[in-house]
Amino acid sequence: MHPAILWESEKEGTVRCLLCHQRCVIKKGETGFCGVRLNSEGKLYTLVYGQLIAENVDPIEKKPFYHFFPGSLAYSIATVGCNFACVFCQNAEISQAPREGRFLAGASPVNPEKIVQAAVNCGCHSISFTYTEPTVFFEYALDVARLAREKGIKNNFVTNGYMSQAALEKLAGMLDAANVDLKGDDAFYRRFCHARQAPVVENIKLMKQLGVWVEVTTLIVPGENDDEKIIGSLAEVLVNINPEIPWHLSRFFPMYKMGNKMPTPVEKIRAARQLGLKSGLSYVYTGNIPGDEGENTFCPRCHQLLIRRRGYSTSVVGLSGNRCAACGFLVPGCFK
């Protein structure tokens, strides 16, 4: 066990976790909703510090990030656990393991120095806290991120965006980018994720204020969040924050407790992309459709092809630094 941060004592030995918006009140000997934060004798501990369940080198486009050092590599790490319970989770075997009584971990904890050195050795431009929800291994992520910045390596979160404001502020100056899931309207969050939409929207706003580069992903689930009204409302949320936020619309495939669903029709994803563009967003992408035109980045002003993609293969073809080589339009993001 490793001492946790962001919690307070309650009466009779219970504690309240302040790490995310679940704000769990945890009795002695019990864990919070995520299954990885334990109240031991009136003090809160994390059970996953350094307990990696996944450690890989990935193209940054896999996260997905399209405006954050395209074509670069990310050293990706995760522990088990999540503060959501999404019935369509694509990594449920590790994210939901503690809640289902399957506590998976490596043979021994991996210290933060080893992760940063591995990222350096592998030529990675960034470290990605991903696969599960990085908020639940926050203490470890914070230590890794701090060391990474000292070595000139960037940090990014692939997150559901449900961390508390206090947690997000602790990352200020160390978190360079975040891809945040905006899963649906509030009814969708309550029905399928055991969460609410509003804290996610507020955290996207706060990330922008803190100088974090933000991209947003929505998994389009047939019959659940694919209605034009819902898609339009999500696009409006992002336009009101910043119309230059890249929005990734990903195709759903049957997973976990939604194994009986059909995959999202390709035309549904393409139509959602057009709706996002018509709503005023400058960069709307299609996901899980390799070779689709919607994977590419185009200049909003002159429509010149700037970045060509096919799956995780990326070619920067029309950028000069961070400007369109044809018309000089400034393209938002982080580019080499």
Domains of the chain: 2-46 (no CATH), 54-324 (3.20.20.70)
What tokens were used for 133? 């929800």
pLDDT of 102: 80
pLDDT lower than 70: segments of the chain: 104-107
Cα–Cα separations (whole angstroms), residue 210 to 140, 171, 204, 315? 21, 9, 10, 30
pLDDT attached to residue 88 = 95
Q: For strand 154-159 and strand 126-129, is the pairing parallel, antiparallel, or unpaired?
A: parallel
Interatomic CA distance for residues 321 and 305, integer angstroms: 15
Q: Kindly give the residue spans of alpha helices, DSSP state H, lying in 2-132.
A: 92-95, 112-121
- Give the per-residue pLDDT at 101: 85
Q: Write down the pLDDT at residue 100.
A: 87
pLDDT in the model for residue 83: 97
Q: How far is CA 52 from CA 30, 88, 107, 108, 145, in A?
A: 22, 23, 9, 9, 15
Distance CA 246, CA 16 (A): 35
Tell me which residue of 306, 295, 293 sits closest to 332, measured CA to CA.
Answer: 306
Contact yes or no for 74/176 (Cβ under 8 A): no
Helices (H), 132-197: 138-150, 165-170, 186-192
The 3-state DSSP class for residue 190 equals: helix
Interval 279-331: pLDDT, tens:
999 999 999 999 999 999 999 999 999 999 999 999 999 999 999 999 999 99
Write down the pLDDT at residue 336: 82
Cα Rg of the chain (Å, integer) = 20
Q: How many CB atoms lie within 10 A of CB 135?
A: 26
**Per-residue pLDDT reduced to its tens digit, 91-127:** 999 999 998 888 766 657 999 999 999 999 999 999 9
Give how far the C-alpha of residue 39 lies from the chain's centroid of Cα atoms, to the nearest Å.
27
